[in-house]
Amino acid sequence: MPDLDSLSILFIWTAIAIYAAAFVAYAFDLARRSEVSADARLVRERDAMLVGAGAPAAGSGAPSGADAADAASDPAASDLQKRPRYVMARIGTALTVLGFLFQLAATITRGIAAERVPWANLYEFAMTGTLLVVFVYLLVNTRIDLRFLGTFITGLVVILMGAAAISFYVGIVPLMDPLKSVWLVIHVFVASLGTAFFALACALSVLQLMQSRRERKIVEAAEKQGPRFLATLPDADRLEGMAFRFAIVGFIFWTFTLIAGAIWAQDAWGRYWGFDVKETWTFIIWVLYAGYLHARATRGWRGNPSAWLSIVGFTAVIFNFTIVNVFFKGLHAYSGLS
């Protein structure tokens, strides 16, 4: 019978495989959204031609018997009279839930095997951090339909967790003395939770830029208007508003992370701040998101400029999680890698 850590590894690779399948399902969903958008455009063009020819357009009144028969025999028109059902999005979400359960099992078994919280090194932090990203995504989906972000979320988790399982895995070892603190439970968990909200904000900001470009092309009457699936998503202002709300929550958690880290540093090293590389990057990320929130509330910086700040902020979070942890040495060198 395998030990709990080996079982955790098995669970995590199973979760990665399921997330990869969910990514494919979500990708097919975007393709389906593009098809729905294209069908809607064809129906609009047909209606415009009928109006130009003197025939009543769809929806302009009660159709005659012949018109009703034509509409009944037109699959595109029939489909568009109903709200599209994105089956592949549902499949992707179901697979994401299943992957989350396997990843949760992997995280719990790792914690039981280590007899501590499972986020004391880089591998475990990746495991817990990506788990919380998926958890927040699924939780928000119970209130707001964000399944169009599925490709971003599952793709990010597959890349980060796959890279961590291959390059960052370390066996279970006793904690270093500075980590033997209640702040390990609080500080790192809250930082992971803040990262999860920043991930959602970044995904929405990327789509906001794409949608904004598409809307500008429509105003300019250009033929090429970007990916067709964007026509089925909220407009750029709505995407920006959602990204802003997620960033606010993430910023609150990150602010607490910064304060808790200073308190922990005082307990461990006798000073609140020492410009250690990890401390410095945590503060840089805080400044970037503070700038984003301020820019969003400042006239002239709303729209694309603030979206770019959101993306840069999350890029800094990933840089802090990967490059800083692996290649920069300091008092926070707890990656577990030799």
The two three-digit tokens of residue 121, written as one number: 């090194």
Mean pLDDT of the chain: 82
pLDDT at position 277 is 85
Query: What is the spatial distance between Cα 2 and Cα 10, in angstroms, rounded to a whole number?
Result: 10
Query: What is the spatial distance between Cα 31 and Cα 175, in angstroms, rounded to a whole number?
Result: 48
**Across 145-157, average pLDDT:** 94
pLDDT at position 75 is 41
DSSP letter for each residue of 258-297: HHHHHHHHHHHHS-S----HHHHHHHHHHHHHHHHHHHHT
224 or 325, which is more confident: 325
Query: What is the spatial distance between Cα 63 and Cα 66, in angstroms, rounded to a whole number?
Result: 8
128 or 86, which is more confident: 128
The two three-digit tokens of residue 126, written as one number: 């990746």
CB 336 within 8 Å of CB 169:
no
Give pLDDT tens digits for 102-141: 999 999 999 999 989 998 888 999 999 999 999 999 999 9
Burial of 223 (0-12, 13-18, 19+ CB in 10 A): exposed
C-alpha torsion angle, residues 203, 206, 208, 211 (rounded to 10): -120
pLDDT at position 124 is 92
| Cβ neighbours for 125, distance < 8 A, ≥ 6 positions apart | 119, 188, 192, 321
CB 109 within 8 Å of CB 4:
yes
Burial of 20 (0-12, 13-18, 19+ CB in 10 A): middle
56 has a pLDDT exceeding 80: no
Q: Where are the domains of the chain?
A: 4-327
Percent of the chain whose pLDDT exceeds 70: 79
Percent of the chain whose pLDDT exceeds 90: 50
Give pLDDT tens digits for 198-251: 999 999 999 999 999 888 877 776 555 667 788 888 899 999 999 999 999 999
pLDDT at position 337 is 59
Backbone phi, psi, residue 186, to 5°: -80, -55
State the pLDDT confidence band at 254, using cuts at 50, 70 and 90.
Answer: very high
Query: What is the spatial distance between Cα 69 and Cα 207, in angstroms, rounded to a whole number?
Result: 40
Q: Which of 17-21, 74-78, 300-304 has the lowest mean pLDDT?
A: 74-78
78 has a pLDDT exceeding 80: no
Burial of 82 (0-12, 13-18, 19+ CB in 10 A): exposed
pLDDT at position 221 is 64
